[in-house]
Amino acid sequence: MVRITVLGGTGYAGEHIVAEAARRGHTVVSYSRKIPDSGVVGVTYRQGDVDDAAVLRDAVAAADVVFSALSARGALSGKGKLRTIESRLARIAEESGTRLGVLGGAGSLFAYEGGPLVMDDPEFPEAFKAEAEEMSGVLKDLRATSEKLDWFFVSPAGGFGSYAPGEALGHYRVGGDVLLTDKDGNSFISGADLAMAVVDEIEKPQHHRARFTVAY
């Protein structure tokens, strides 16, 4: 049994990760700005502002693994806002010896081997550009941290999101820094199967101080 804390545990990705971890019998704590009216049985829900260092320390202190499913939207939007919070979280995790996982987008992946970043493609939606740049900065900061910090960064498929929830298929493929696509050029994964990949990594670590991507 692993003690897992999920920051942003009531968001689209976070709620799937929380549910999958609890289903497998882990001790799960979810932090969010608001406590949901109904949640996953067995999960402890806590309210807190991740911009408060004391909240981050409490979240890390009670965990073997802390996973950030935060996104640069709403209260966390704005250049450097989330990047600063993730850097603070990384320092706290390093001090405590806690493993850190971070959910990033597909924008910082290479569109193909030797090609440009996905977010630099002219067809990349302008509405998601700032968020992609912010998460790319978070990844850059993680790569510059001390070797003492054990972190992993997960980039979902390009079509991941609440706008296209999909179904739980029970499988996924793993890649490195290049966007994964199917034979038709599509890149997609459901919330449930992204959560499966995250919890699999928590249970049986394969990526240390590295980013990986998952898709069908």
pLDDT in the model for residue 67: 98
pLDDT in the model for residue 190: 98
pLDDT in the model for residue 132: 97
pLDDT in the model for residue 148: 98
pLDDT in the model for residue 164: 86
> 3-class SS at 68?
strand
CB contact at 8 A, 193 and 170: yes
64: tokens are 């073997």
pTM higher than 0.85, yes or no? yes
pLDDT in the model for residue 63: 98
**Which residues in the chain come in under a pLDDT of 70?**
none
CB contact at 8 A, 135 and 108: yes
Residue 106: other Cβ atoms inside 10 A: 26
pLDDT in the model for residue 83: 98
Residue boundaries of the structural domains of the chain: 3-215
- What architecture is the 3-215 domain classified under in CATH? 3-Layer(aba) Sandwich (3.40)
